[in-house]
């Protein structure tokens, strides 16, 4: 569950079809000058900044193009990466402001798919006055994707016991994690040093210039907030307006990120349980304390005896069941489906709906293949921030997470274990971002967000010299596009006029 991405629109379409239900920098160098003026290309990058995109119709009113960026910014005359882009043109050309770049998070989420699915959900003023632009970051989707593991290999990795209870189980999961890393070393070693967030942030400035915008306007969700924050640190004077929704804290360590994320899932589950036990027939019981005890018992039982499912021959292990629960916590609209899934699993021993939810999290297709989201997610995370040095240190972190978040801690933390075996290790340390000289940057946090805890939004808004905190007293992952009128109005007004809401605004 290292993924942190906006999941709502895609989930609604694909999960309903599946279930029949409704409801870093890895050591590559960088140019020395980052904070360039909008009209000036950094040294050696003139051809990239001056490129003209060949936009072509790609269905549904969308246009697609491919931009070229250097594989290694220290050697821009060397290899290139093709960045797949999509845009939905502004409805009113006479009122057009420019491009609104977007990123749905991950890392590993396809920005092209996101715009196809979600562009029409953006506010009317934004659709009228901006081209809504998405792109697949380097290593993701259609942008020279990192691909390491086969479908069966990923099936095995996700089904494995990622909450090991003894040395034998730890060693078994460590073996799978090491194999994951070795697969990437053998199949994608040339790309791995250059898929970090800092590289992707530099790519975004090239994309800004390639679409003809002198200033950068951006909406980033989840991990997309980290990408946006790094962009702000590198190019503060190139910003017009940035919205960072469901914020990630740049100064948090890799393992600290996982521990805090597990606490976020624990908080979100309690909110779901409090809602569930208010009505008759809740599979978790009649009180929140009973709900937590029953979930613990259910997990222990599933650890020993995996659930069956009616979709295929896979067994629904404890790890897959927890992943399914976590997926539904991303969106409050899916609480009724989670209640149904838990009823099915806890009362009938049927894990079909939990498995469908888990498959949605990791973008597993009905034919058993996967998108490259998982491989890219691991590749970016492993080179962005240092990880614990060995298995023993990782185990200590998992123990810490279990104390803080007993139902989700071990699964979230152990899920990142391949990084300690990764063939490319990061050279930089986590650090705060300030974006000195940037105009106001709006950071949005949801109080009971499962994947990006609210404290991260508070932290990022304080770090940024011009940070403005906008909060939603609500549930689910991210706030914009979830239908809250207060959040929509504040966000759209800022993106159109560059006038931010009052710092500390709380929407209900």
Closest among 67, 458, 49, 55 to 235, alpha carbons compared: 49
Closest among 264, 245, 279 to 326, alpha carbons compared: 264
Active-site position among 84, 163, 222, 371: 222
- The secondary structure element, H or E, covering residue 441 is strand 441-448
Residues 6+ positions from 14 with CB-CB distance below 8 Å: 360
- Tokens, residue 88: 């939905």
Instruction: Mark whether 222 is an active-site residue.
Output: yes
Please give the Cα distance from 49 to 159 (Å, whole number).
45
Please give the Cα distance from 172 to 468 (Å, whole number).
46
Please give the Cα distance from 210 to 68 (Å, whole number).
10
Active-site position among 245, 475, 477, 492: 477
CB 222 within 8 A of CB 478: yes
Please give the Cα distance from 132 to 69 (Å, whole number).
21
Instruction: Mark whether 449 is an active-site residue.
Output: yes
Q: Which residues pair with 87 in a beta bridge?
A: 63, 133
Closest among 39, 28, 85, 38 to 62, alpha carbons compared: 85
Start-to-end C-alpha separation, the chain: 28
Instruction: Mark whether 477 is an active-site residue.
Output: yes
CA distances from 100 to 14, 95, 441, 494 (A): 26, 14, 14, 12
Helix (H, G, I), strand (E, B) or coil at 473: strand
Burial of residue 77, with CB atoms counted within 10 A of its CB: 0-12 exposed, 13-18 middle, 19 or more buried: exposed
CB 141 within 8 A of CB 371: yes
Please give the Cα distance from 452 to 145 (Å, whole number).
25
Active-site position among 449, 459, 475, 492: 449
Residues annotated as catalytic (active site), given as ranges: 222, 449, 477
């Amino acid at each position: 569950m290292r993924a942190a991405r906006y999941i709502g629109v895609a989930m609604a379409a694909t999960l309903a079809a599946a279930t029949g239900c409704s409801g870093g920098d890895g050591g590559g160098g960088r140019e020395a000058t980052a904070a360039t003026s909008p009209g000036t290309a950094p040294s050696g990058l003139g051809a990239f900044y001056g490129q003209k995109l060949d936009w072509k119709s790609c269905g549904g009113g969308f246009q697609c193009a491919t931009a070229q960026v250097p594989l290694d910014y220290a050697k821009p005359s060397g290899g290139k990466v093709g960045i797949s882009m999509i845009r939905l043109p502004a409805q009113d050309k006479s009122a057009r402001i420019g491009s609104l770049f977007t990123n749905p998070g991950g890392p590993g989420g396809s920005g092209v798919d996101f715009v196809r699915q979600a562009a029409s959900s953006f506010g009317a003023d934004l659709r009228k006055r901006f081209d809504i632009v998405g792109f697949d970051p380097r290593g993701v989707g259609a942008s020279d994707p990192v691909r390491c593991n086969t479908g069966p290999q990923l099936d095995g990795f996700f089904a494995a016991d990622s909450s090991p209870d003894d040395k034998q189980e730890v060693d078994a999961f460590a073996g799978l994690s090491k194999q994951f890393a070795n697969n990437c070393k053998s199949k994608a070693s040339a790309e791995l040093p250059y898929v970090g967030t800092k590289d992707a942030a530099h790519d975004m400035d090239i994309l800004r210039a390639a679409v003809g915008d002198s200033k950068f306007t951006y909406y980033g969700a989840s991990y997309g907030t980290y990408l946006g924050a790094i962009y702000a640190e590198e190019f503060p004077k190139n910003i017009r307006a940035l919205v960072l929704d469901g914020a990630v804290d740049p100064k948090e360590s890799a393992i600290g990120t996982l521990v805090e994320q597990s606490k976020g899932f624990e908080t979100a589950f309690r909110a779901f349980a409090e809602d569930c036990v208010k009505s008759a027939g809740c599979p978790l019981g009649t009180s929140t304390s009973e709900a937590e005890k029953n979930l613990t018992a259910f997990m222990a039982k599933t650890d020993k005896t995996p659930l069956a499912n009616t979709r295929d021959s896979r067994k629904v292990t404890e790890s897959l069941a927890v992943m399914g629960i976590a997926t539904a916590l991303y969106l409050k609209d899916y609480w009724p489906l989670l209640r149904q899934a838990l009823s099915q699993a806890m009362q009938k021993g049927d894990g079909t709906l939990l498995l469908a939810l888990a498959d949605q999290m990791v973008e597993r297709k009905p034919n058993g293949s996967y998108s490259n989201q998982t491989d890219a997610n691991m590749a970016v995370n492993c080179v962005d921030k240092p990880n614990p040095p060995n298995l023993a240190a990782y185990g200590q972190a998992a123990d810490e997470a279990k104390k803080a978040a007993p139902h989700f801690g071990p699964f979230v933390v152990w899920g990142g274990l391949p990084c300690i075996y990764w063939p490319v290790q990061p050279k930089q340390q986590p650090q705060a971002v300030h974006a000195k000289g940037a105009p106001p940057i709006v950071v949005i946090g949801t109080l009971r967000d499962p994947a990006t805890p609210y404290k991260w939004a508070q932290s990022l808004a304080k770090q940024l010299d011009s940070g403005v905190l906008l909060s939603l007293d609500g549930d689910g992952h991210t706030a914009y596009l979830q239908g809250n009128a207060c959040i929509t109005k504040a966000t759209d007004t800022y993106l159109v006029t560059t006038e931010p809401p009052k710092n500390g605004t709380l929407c209900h």
